[in-house]
Amino acid sequence: MPKLNQDSLQKIDFTLNGVAETGTAEPRMLLSDFLRNVMGVTGCHVGCEHGVCGACTVQIDGKAQRSCLTLAVQVAGRKVDTVESLAGRENPLTDLQQAFKTHHGLQCGYCTPGILMSTSEFLDRNPNPTEEEVRDMLSGHLCRCTGYAGIVNAIMATIEERQGKAAAE
Amino acid sequence: MNEVYKPEKFVGKPIERVEDEALLRGVARYADDYPARLDTRHAAILRSPHAHAEIVSIDVSEALAQPGVVCVITGDDLLEYVDPFLNIVKAPMKLWPLAVERVRYVGEAVVLVVAMDRYIAEDAVDLIQVEYKLLKPAVKPEFAASEEAPVIHTECDSNVLSDREFTYGDPDKAFEECDQKVEIEIDFPRSSITPMENFVVMADYHPAENVYDVLSNFQGPFTVHPVMCRALRVKNTGLRLRTPANTGGGFGIKVAIFPYIVLMAIASRIAGKPVKWVEDRLEHLSSATAAPNRIVKIEAAAMKDGKVTAFRLDQLDDYGAFLRAPMPGPLYRMHGVTTGSYEIPNLYVRNRLVMTNKSPSGMVRGFGGPQMYFGIERVMHRVAIELGLDPLDVIEKNLISANAFPYHAAAGGVFDSGNYQAVVALAKKEGKLKELMERRDKARAEGKLYGIGYTAVTEPTHSNMGYITTILTKEERAKRSPTMGTNSNATVSVDPFGGVSCSTEVPPMGQGHATLMAQIVAEQLGLQPTEISCNMELDTQKDKWSIAAGNYSARFTSGPAVAVQMAAKMMRQKLAEIAAPNLNIPVEEVEFGNNLIFARDNPDNFLKFYRVAGTAHWSPASLPDGMAGGLSESAVWTPRELTAPDEQDRINTSLVYGFNFDFCGVEIDRDTGEVKIDHYVTAHDAGTILNPLIAHGQILGSYSHGVSEALYEEFVYGDDGSFKSGTFADYLVPSATEVPEPMVLHVETPSPLTPLGAKGLADGNCMSTPVCIANAVSDALDNIKDIQLPLFPSRVSELIHGDEPPPPERLSQAAEETPAKTSSGKSSAITGTGQSMVPADPQTVWDTLLDPIKLAVVIPGCHGLDEVAENDYRAEITLGAGPVRGKFLAHVKLSDLNEPKSVTLAGGLDGPLGSSQGEGRVRLEAVEGGTQVSYEYSVEISGKVAAVGSRLIEGGARVVVNQFFSRLIKQIETPGSVTAGEAGTPSLFQRILQWLGIN
């Protein structure tokens, strides 16, 4: 890994939500700040900046990661997906997003993008989890509004629906 | 349209929220997402590491010299521009946006840096040097209220700013005549509900108009707007306050932004540029706000059959370092409900509010209800236990009967409607109470600790602004104009193409208000909710708002929602009057539906909605005589039931009163003390429910807060006032694995006082759930009397097993070092003792210890020691590791010198990472082969480093002490072998950094 001068701006070429992008950042800039304040991707929310609350979770090369515990320079050459990647601005909501709507899985919506990014990766890896496993996965995210029941119900409903579809095919 | 038309109803339906689409796509805009002007500068705040100290000097020169720093502002710099914030009891305390002369709590804002970006600003904050002179703190409320306590605001006579007694009925007689007096004491802890989004302020001063233009995620009440204006020395028009379309949770917390609004407004004026500040989580936890902790002594006068005839309450509410608007709300907004859900005619209440060296208290969901109901419902439980009755029987015996409504409670609450018995009956049946009791029997038979708890809570919603004046005597009230009631504003507009918009005066915090507004308006105008455009931004310069505006006291459904319905009905009437002549029918026969306006009895006779709307805009001259052109209707809703306190200090504190009854079963792990909620039932009567999906969500969220108050959340302070809960690893917020889903049930008794029939329901479980769980834990543990929240496993374990036994022999070395106890009531100091053998005679050791040059070499990380007075030293010390180092200013005083036998060292460290205060006694004893050096020390750590990792610091302090002695020995054995300035304790800081994920 090259040694970076702390005051020099680094050029960061990376893939953001499927599009090749370039931005600049000092070596110490957090990925969360870079996404929000340099790239203008404000769906990535900052809740604690010490890795506990999970609001800033994004996917880096397909894996859910805390963008507040990642430096911007670390994503050079990599693929970063934020909540804006799920349905984009105008496509229909994904089944998971729609389930959050149906089951009232969000209130203020501040923690939601992080939860969606963790959950979508989790369900790719583990399409048939138990409720206990879902709650365990969610324990990396703090939500103050919902008491989690709506979130859990939305995810369980998505799993059920996907299984129904898979069985029908 | 051939079928008979039935108007489509949306109110009462579980309609999906109109807000969700933008939120789920990540395109919803929160305060920090709003575009900032290119010349916007960014602020960071230096905060006090001390609970109570005089500010001796502030040196900002190094910070100001940093490239990119625009300005550095101290409290003194503000005095030219601001007045202190007002408080209700007119206490002469001075609350400024930055500390002036003194700091009064850890985390108090001391210096503001404005710079090109936040990173530069934070770097500069670390370069500011503040010298403090420590003062004795008053941390615990009972101590702060005592004669011995230091007075925190020297302008005031004592820390108790208000002490009022109230008597309703004849409580003394009731206590004389009762069969049993039952009493209990409560120490309700300090906690908050930390919204996931922190505070945001973006301020821009316009000198041409003398207007401060501010965007902030402030939630109201807007009674605080004039408080800010008075501080800024402007009229209400001089502070343009805008709130964003979305906010990441409020829970009451986001009223506490207001001192920062004023601070950034002035900063913008001084900087000559817009200034933006985004609070970080440590700032939020240490300094934002907290629900006041409260000491309550409560007595109940009970008859043998369980009937309670009187309560006596003595409440001591801890408001922290400043009485900040709208405090002391929590003590008085519940006042009319002080007898709970019960028919208790006699009441005595003493309310005291006390200042302590903790962060100022504020609005937190439940707003005084959790504290009050914890006392009431615990004492009702005790009545049952002490009389040998069933706790639920005692509740039912005392509940207000269904035919008693409207019920006039002793302290003045007028409970509008309800059927408490029906709610209890529903809960028992649907919640399967009988089965739960069998489950308890079975669990107990298996040797498990299992308990059942009950709670009944009357939930006041839609506050009367006049409640706060109950703190004043009737004579004081007579001198000022009375405050009573509330207004709610709403506007419905229709554009030339038939587009409908609706706005009201409530900054949204996530409750789904836009959906409720859309439902109400769509139903009136025959449209779909998704067709109603609700811009939830609020702008005090352009929108209609009342002084009662804001998002609090669950007022939406009985306040602004009513105004929305009124405005929508006015719009409907106007459109009907425009359409009627064209349809050739009387106005009364006009109906709305499917985007059409038509004759009710002949739907084929219709006009398109947008056509009728267009008429008012495109051909206003054709409108019926006397009708104003355009389509914009505004309504103000002013319920008349909310009057000022009467001569007897009775106050109807809220407009409407909901009710909930909860019961739960908990199992306690005998080994770990963990409390597991096995079954939880909560049954509500909140009048008419406007949207069951949203109502359900509000109850689940409120319940979740109740669970966390009961089991997890507490702001912990050391005896020195140091703050110990600065991260989400220290301040525990429950995750999905800790909050099981409760069963939620509803009875709907519409309120006669509001046109929609709805009451609030978002606070009830914050009040009921903590005490319901506490009652269940008491039941599980042989009806134990004293239950201290939160019920951490360690605390419950102590209840089961008693105090921790002494450690076994082999651990005695470790036991010598007593770690900081963070649970309240115990010492928070890190103390230790030790001894070392130094191979030199006592005089040599003594000379080394008292020679500044030699001592400087020995102290880890020391860059030279100056003797500023005899036996009084100053030094600069670096402690750190890797890329992050902290510079500290150390001062050490030697006293009780008994050459060459013993000396006392007292002093401390101050730096950007925090500070410490300590004292040590060193004894030198000549023994064979040298000197036996024995020492004991006690260190208190405060500031950032204590807040984010006090558990890790304990070890670190010991490492420093050990290093000191090992270096001393080395230096004496081989002079010159120790190099001055070596950084100390790398392992400690590395551990913190790793743990914070920085390294």
Helix extents (H) in B446-559: 474-478, 513-525
The beta strand positions in chain A, using DSSP E, are: 10-16, 19-25, 57-60, 63-66, 79-81
CB contact under 8 A, B697 and A104: yes
Q: Give the residue from chain B lying closest to A44, CA to CA.
A: B26
Least confident of B224-233, B341-350, B787-796, B882-891: B882-891
Q: Which residue, chain included where needed, has tokens 């030790």? A: B834
A2 pLDDT band (50/70/90 cuts)? Answer: confident
Kindly tell me if the per-residue pLDDT of B827 is higher than 60.
no
Q: How far is B247 from chain A (nearest CA, A)?
A: 6
Q: Domain B34-135+193-288 adopts which CATH fold?
A: Aldehyde Oxidoreductase; domain 3 (3.90.1170)
One CATH from 3.40.50.300, 3.30.365.10, 3.40.718.10, 2.102.10.10 for B488-637? 3.30.365.10
Nearest to A107 among B24, B25, B510 (CB): B510
Q: Give the residue from chain B lying closest to A42, CA to CA.
A: B33
Kindly tell me if the per-residue pLDDT of B971 is higher than 90.
no
Nearest to A146 among B28, B246, B701 (CB): B701
Instruction: Clarify whether residues A77 and A127 are in a common domain.
Output: no
Which pLDDT value is given to residue B709? 97
The more confidently predicted of residues B799 and B967 is B799
Is A119 among the domain residues? Answer: yes
HSE on the CB side for B298, CA within 13 Å? 31
Instruction: Clarify whether residues A100 and A155 are in a common domain.
Output: yes
Per-residue pLDDT, averaged over B95-123, amounts to: 97
Least confident of B313-322, B659-668, B761-770, B845-854: B845-854
Kindly tell me if the per-residue pLDDT of B807 is higher than 70.
no
pLDDT in tens, A29-87: 999 999 999 999 999 999 999 999 999 999 999 999 999 999 999 999 999 999 999 99
Q: How far is A77 from chain B (nearest CA, A)?
A: 22
Nearest to B25 among A87, A140, A144 (CB): A87
Nearest to A101 among B16, B733, B996 (CB): B16
Do residues B494 and B574 make contact, with C-beta atoms less than 8 angstroms apart? no
* Residues pairing with B917 in the sheet: B908, B940
Is A132 among the domain residues? Answer: yes
Q: Look over chain B and give the mean of its residue pLDDT values, rounded to a whole number.
A: 92
pLDDT in tens, B119-164: 999 999 999 999 999 999 999 999 999 999 999 999 999 999 999 9
pLDDT in tens, B696-709: 999 999 999 999 99
CB contact under 8 A, A66 and B997: yes
Bond prior to B508 in cis (omega within 30° of 0): no
Domains of chain B: which residue ranges?
34-135+193-288, 144-191+290-474+652-798, 488-637, 809-996
pLDDT in tens, B560-586: 999 999 999 999 999 999 999 999 999
B510 pLDDT band (50/70/90 cuts)? Answer: very high
Q: How many domains does chain A have?
A: 2
Kindly tell me if the per-residue pLDDT of B838 is higher than 60.
yes
B806 pLDDT band (50/70/90 cuts)? Answer: low
Kindly tell me if the per-residue pLDDT of B787 is higher than 60.
yes
Which pLDDT value is given to residue B4? 60
User: Strand pairing of B109-115 and B293-302?
Assistant: unpaired
Is A14 among the domain residues? Answer: yes
Q: How many helices (H) and strands (E) does chain B have?
A: 26, 36
pLDDT in tens, B976-987: 777 665 544 444
B817 pLDDT band (50/70/90 cuts)? Answer: very low
**Residue A60 belongs to domain with CATH number:** 3.10.20.30
Q: How far is A43 from chain B (nearest CA, A)?
A: 4
Q: How far is A90 from chain B (nearest CA, A)?
A: 9
Instruction: Clarify whether residues A40 and A92 are in a common domain.
Output: no
Instruction: Clarify whether residues A121 and A74 are in a common domain.
Output: no
Q: How far is A142 from chain B (nearest CA, A)?
A: 6
Q: How far is B572 from chain A (nearest CA, A)?
A: 30
Q: How far is A85 from chain B (nearest CA, A)?
A: 8
Q: Give the residue from chain B lying closest to A48, CA to CA.
A: B281
One CATH from 3.40.50.10540, 3.75.10.10, 3.30.365.10, 2.40.128.20 for B144-191+290-474+652-798? 3.30.365.10
Best CA proximity match to B968, nearest among B888, B831, B851: B851
Mutate to test the interface with B, among A50, A59, A103, A132 (most CBs of B within 10 A): A50
Residue B887 in tokens: 């510079």
Q: How far is B894 from chain A (nearest CA, A)?
A: 40
The residue from A82, A102, A119 where one domain ends is A82
Kindly tell me if the per-residue pLDDT of B818 is higher than 60.
no
Helix extents (H) in B158-233: 171-177, 224-232
Nearest to B735 among A66, A116, A138 (CB): A138
Bond prior to B326 in cis (omega within 30° of 0): yes
pLDDT in tens, B380-433: 999 999 999 999 999 999 999 999 999 999 999 999 999 999 999 999 999 999
B849 pLDDT band (50/70/90 cuts)? Answer: confident
Is A163 among the domain residues? Answer: yes
Per-residue pLDDT, averaged over B242-260, amounts to: 98
Q: Domain B809-996 adopts which CATH fold?
A: Alpha-D-Glucose-1,6-Bisphosphate; Chain A, domain 4 (3.30.530)
CB contact under 8 A, B728 and A50: yes
Instruction: Clarify whether residues A52 and A103 are in a common domain.
Output: no
Best CA proximity match to B216, nearest among B150, B260, B158: B260
CB contact under 8 A, A101 and B281: no
Report the C-alpha gap between B769 and B705 in whole angstroms: 8
CB contact under 8 A, B997 and A146: no
B822 pLDDT band (50/70/90 cuts)? Answer: very low
Instruction: Clarify whether residues A69 and A97 are in a common domain.
Output: no
The residue from A82, A114, A145 where one domain ends is A82
Nearest to B733 among A55, A136, A142 (CB): A142
User: pLDDT exceeding 70 applies to what percent of chain A?
Assistant: 99
Instruction: Clarify whether residues A129 and A96 are in a common domain.
Output: yes
Residue B143 in tokens: 């101590």
* Residues pairing with B811 in the sheet: none
CB contact under 8 A, B24 and A106: yes
Instruction: Clarify whether residues A69 and A118 are in a common domain.
Output: no
Give contacts of A33 with chain B, Cβ < 8 Å. Answer: 118
Report the C-alpha gap between B111 and B47 in whole angstroms: 7
A/B interface, count of CB pairs below 8 Å? 182
Q: How far is B454 from chain A (nearest CA, A)?
A: 21
* CB-count burial class (<10 Å; 0-12, 13-18, 19+) for B438: exposed
CB contact under 8 A, A88 and B194: no
CB contact under 8 A, A49 and B281: yes
Which pLDDT value is given to residue B881? 44
Q: How far is B949 from chain A (nearest CA, A)?
A: 12
The residue from A50, A82, A114 where one domain ends is A82
> One fold for both B34-135+193-288 and B488-637?
no
pLDDT in tens, B202-240: 999 999 999 999 999 999 999 999 999 999 999 999 999
CB contact under 8 A, B997 and A50: yes
Per-residue pLDDT, averaged over B451-458, amounts to: 98
Nearest to B23 among A88, A106, A141 (CB): A106
**Residue A159 belongs to domain with CATH number:** 1.10.150.120
**What residues have CB less than 8 Å from B748, skipping those under 6 apart?**
B685, B686, B687, B688, B689
CB contact under 8 A, A93 and B26: no
CB contact under 8 A, A147 and B997: no
Instruction: Clarify whether residues A99 and A66 are in a common domain.
Output: no
Mutate to test the interface with A, among B24, B556, B689, B948 (most CBs of A within 10 A): B24
Which pLDDT value is given to residue B813? 44
* CB-count burial class (<10 Å; 0-12, 13-18, 19+) for B128: buried
CB contact under 8 A, A150 and B694: no
Instruction: Clarify whether residues A78 and A95 are in a common domain.
Output: no
Which pLDDT value is given to residue B387? 98
Query: What domain range is A141 assigned to?
Result: 87-168
Is A62 among the domain residues? Answer: yes
Instruction: Clarify whether residues A92 and A163 are in a common domain.
Output: yes
Give contacts of A40 with chain B, Cβ < 8 Å. Answer: none
Mutate to test the interface with A, among B196, B199, B992 (most CBs of A within 10 A): B196
Report the C-alpha gap between B213 and B36 in whole angstroms: 13
CB contact under 8 A, B26 and A152: no
Is A78 among the domain residues? Answer: yes
Mutate to test the interface with B, among A80, A107, A131, A137 (most CBs of B within 10 A): A107
Give contacts of A92 with chain B, Cβ < 8 Å. Answer: none
Is A5 among the domain residues? Answer: no
Nearest to A104 among B198, B693, B948 (CB): B693
pLDDT in tens, B194-203: 999 999 999 9
Instruction: Clarify whether residues A16 and A73 are in a common domain.
Output: yes
Q: Give the residue from chain B lying closest to A148, CA to CA.
A: B736
Nearest to B735 among A47, A55, A142 (CB): A142
Kindly tell me if the per-residue pLDDT of B886 is higher than 90.
no
